[in-house]
Structure 1
Amino acid sequence: MNIEKPKVSLIMKVYNGEAYLKEAINSILNQTYQDFEFIIIDDGSFDRSPDIVRQYTDERIRFLQNEQNMGLCATQNKAIQAARGEYIAVMDCDDISYKTRLEKQVAFLDTNPEYIMCGSYRNSIVNGEEIPFLPIKELSNESLQFSLYFGNMFFSHSSIMFRRKAYQEEGISYGPAKYAEDYQVIIEMAKKGKIYLLPERLIAYRIYGESTSQKKKDEMAQIAADIKITHLKDLDIAGQEKTALEKYFADPITELDFEEFITCTEHVAQVCNADIQKDGNAGEIMNQIVNEYIWKMESYSLKKWIALRQSPYSRGLSVLQRDGFLLFVMSVLHYKKKKENLEINKYGG
């Protein structure tokens, strides 16, 4: 390995991450693939994070420190500017990369030059237990491109690896959004090249009570909605359909008619060349999108219930399998929601 010219630059931003930092660092140093530099950048931590990093003597670690807190996006961009590798892999300081993560992602990008980025499925760490997140299915670039119009359903930040040259030449960067920055940067890369989700679990993503995503979920959901609306602007669909979807994304409760929503979504899929039929490659993605729509509906009625049940997209809907009777009762009673009744957008990023 040439430490001055590594194949991969693994970047890890740290801010008061002492609780899980050793586990995260060790998961990278123990990779089966060894041709990498490990850029750890501390963003003004006031806990023991810098001391923990300094305990490591591995020559692959490059430890950078901001003189003061610069924020997530500025710190991430600084780390990328310092990177020397052909590929850049991302890792958050409380997550875990499984041993073969870098090996498998490098192999994919080496043999598929038309792809700018790849990620992987994940396990979620909840109360110390690793739980599979989403069933594994190999998804096409077209399916993933389609999904990004409705949220970041698949790509965990700690799972992505991308081409440094393409990223920099295309002028991509993190920000300016305070949250959902991974969703925004993935969209920007998806505009410039193909994207892929390796059909295996290569990382574990930690979910715990004090994480940013839990404490700031309302603000994150609003930022994610803004990102969706911006992403939609360049899409080649009818103006009224674009307006309808923009309003759907912006509002926590939707008045958009079911048939109109389906028509708009079908046209997005057509532009992306994604197969959203039940057995199509993007069929499960459509399932998730319709599930979310059902819970965002402002009001329920028998007419809407019948339209839903007669739709070809109702087959296999998890919301009907799990909560079909509840939805039927809500339809019979013509139930109408208030905003505080609505669960926050699950696929914001």
Structure 2
Amino acid sequence: MSTPAITVLMPVHNAEEHIREAIESILVQTFTDFELLIVDDGSTDSTRDIVRSYNDPRIKLVKNTKNRGTVHVLNQGIELARGKYIARMDADDISLPQRLEKQFAFMERNPSIGISGTAMRLIKKGKLKNTRKQPCTNEELKIQLLFGTCFFHPTVILRTDLAKTHPYPDNLVYTQDYNYWTNLADKTQFANLDETLLHFRTHQTQISHTKAGLQISNARTIRTAYLQKLFGHCSDKEIDIHHQLAENKDNIDLEETKAWIEKLIKLNNKSNTFLSTIFINEMAKKWWFICRKNSGSGKKALKTYHSSYLHTLYHPEKKKYLKFLLKCYIAQQFNRQK
């Protein structure tokens, strides 16, 4: 049996509603040297029957008698993967036809990159909506990890030898991707393609809806560990501000947030963890986004935004800045009338 170039790893559980679309989006790929490894995690619906209905030797179905959870299934798939690369795929998403071809070519051209992902477009109630993107370069992505995940999990491709050496951590469930990327950050280079190669389906049964509280709590644990690994001990107050910044809260203390972001820049300059010019630019973006989010505090938000030198380092689109101005003034009038 020949070894495929890519193992497409698809964990499934009670996925009968959309799995046909997911499977067929892989079978029609322009890149054909793959195996589609479907690990069924104890489904009780017709998922397995649907998978068996395809007469394609590239499809490999593994059946678990009990539901053991996503991390277990992912690591089970990694153990069984035969391809040089592992491409992730979920049972309710759609890979665009050139996804594997473009990701394979990118990884072959860039042997130092261990993991890469792509942009994705959302599917909501059966209709295509907005496009989501992450940063593209290694430095930007590892800075992004200070605040949250840096890849869209179903879009990633990674080197199989890396995955077999470093499988998914089995703690902190429902945040296994964020946990994984922070664990791998010092072991390999990251990248993203600035191209939409997957359509991601959103629905109310996703973990982000059903386990939101635990997901937030676990993300905070991961974020704190990564932050302190890079920059040393931080006070409880600083960590709390950092979490609020990462979660894009709309009731944050902007003066405290400004002080924390500017301190982060100093810590990075001292440690040389990230290239200074890139880090400060990313922090300037964060400063703009959090001030815009807090326009409800009126002119105070506008004044505080301009009180930091960071506002001179990142220039938002004129239309977005004018909208920010308008919201601040409207909020100021509203707050006066309370």
Q: Normalization by structure 1: what TM-score?
A: 0.82
Q: Name 1:18's counterpart in structure 2.
A: 16
Alignment partner of 1:42: what SS? strand
Unaligned runs of 5+ in 2: none
**Residue 146 of structure 1 contacts residue 268 of structure 1 at CA under 8 Å; is this kept in 2?**
no
* Corresponding residue of 2:196: 201
Task: Tell me whether 1:273 sits opposite 2:275 in the alignment.
Answer: yes
Are 1:263 and 2:259 an aligned pair? no
Residue in 2 that maps onto 1:192: 187
Partner of 2:326: 325
1:98-146, Cα deviation, whole Å (9 max, x unpaired): 111111111111111111111001111112222242468x732111111
Q: How does 1:294-313 map to 2 (within 5 A)?
A: 295=293, 300=297, 305-313=302-310
CA change 1:133–1:57 in 2 (3 A) is: same
Question: Is 1:179 aligned to 2:174, yes or no?
Answer: yes
Alignment check: 8 A CA contact 2:147 2:243 kept: no
Deviates more, 1:307-316 or 1:158-167: 307-316
Call closer, same or farther: CA 1:130–1:257 in 2, change over 3 Å.
same
2:148 is aligned to 151
Q: 1:248 aligns with which of 241, 252, 261?
A: 241
The code of the aligned residue for 1:325 comes to: L
Aligned partner of residue 272 in structure 1, secondary structure: coil
Q: CA shift at 1:220, angstroms?
A: 1.8
RMSD: 2.9
More displaced 10-residue stretch of structure 1: 77-86 or 288-297: 288-297
**Partner Cα distance (2:236, 2:78) in 1:** 36
Unaligned runs of 5+ residues in structure 1 are: 336-349
CA, structure 1 residues 227+27, in 2 after alignment: closer, same or farther (shift >3 Å)?
same
Task: Work out the CA distance in 1 between the residues paired with 2:212 and 2:261.
Answer: 27
2:73 to 60, 72, 75: 75
Q: Is the 8 A contact 1:269 1:276 kept in 2?
A: no
Q: Is the 8 A contact 1:146 1:274 kept in 2?
A: no
User: Where is the helix percentage greater, Structure 1 or Structure 2?
Assistant: 2
CA distance in 2, matches of 1:80, 1:108: 21
Match of 1:166 in 2: 162
List aligned pairs for 1:23-62, cutoff 5 A: 23-62=21-60
Aligned equivalent of 1:339? none
Letter in 1 for 2:158: F
TM (normalized to structure 2)? Answer: 0.84
Mean CA deviation greater in 51-60 or 182-191:
182-191
Cα 1:269–1:184, aligned 2, differ >3 Å: closer, same or farther?
A: same
The aligned residue for residue 229 of structure 1 is 224
Contact 1:9 1:84 (C-alpha < 8 Å) held by counterparts: yes
Alpha-carbon spacing, 1:321–1:94, altered in 2? closer, same or farther (3 Å): farther
- Closer, same or farther: CA 222–334 of 1 in aligned 2, 3 Å: farther
Could you tell me which amino acid in structure 1 is paired with residue 200 of structure 2? Y
- C-alpha change, 1:102 and 1:178, in structure 2 (3 Å) is same
More deviation in 262-271 or 33-42? 262-271
Q: Offset of 1:245 from its aligned partner?
A: 4.1
Name whichever of 303-312 and 76-85 sits farther off.
Answer: 303-312
